[in-house]
Amino acid sequence: MMLLSFLLLLAAPQTQADMNRSAGSSYARADAAMTAQWKRTYAYMKGRDAQDTSRGGGFGYVGDKLLTTGNAGDDRDTALLAKLGLVPMTGEEPMRVAAA
């Protein structure tokens, strides 16, 4: 029992530097896992987007960037969307390709 307590004491970080190292390595592992998951999710969604032609072949992506605007009525945002051939969504309506 005493040996187990001693071993557990050795495993736990004891100084601020030890805790910082431990937290840093935990962060690096979590960040790598999140990045890997994002790549899988992004590839899957791009495949799904390519299959759906009802919205111009996608869900608001231009290249690899998600196209969103909080100010669809703003002149600059409206001009940008028009230049890209998109009509801003209203309410729950999805963004669609402008009629040519």
The CA radius of gyration of the chain, in Å to the nearest whole number, is 24
pLDDT for 42 equals 85
What pTM was estimated for this model as a whole? Answer: 0.43
The angle formed by the CA atoms of residues 3, 13 and 29, to the nearest 5 degrees, is 120
Q: Are the C-beta atoms of residues 46 and 59 closer than 8 Å to each other?
A: no
Q: Where are the chain's structural domains?
A: 16-97
pLDDT digits (tens), the chain, 100 positions: 667 666 666 666 678 898 899 899 999 999 999 999 999 988 888 787 777 666 555 555 555 555 566 666 677 777 777 777 776 665 555 545 555 4
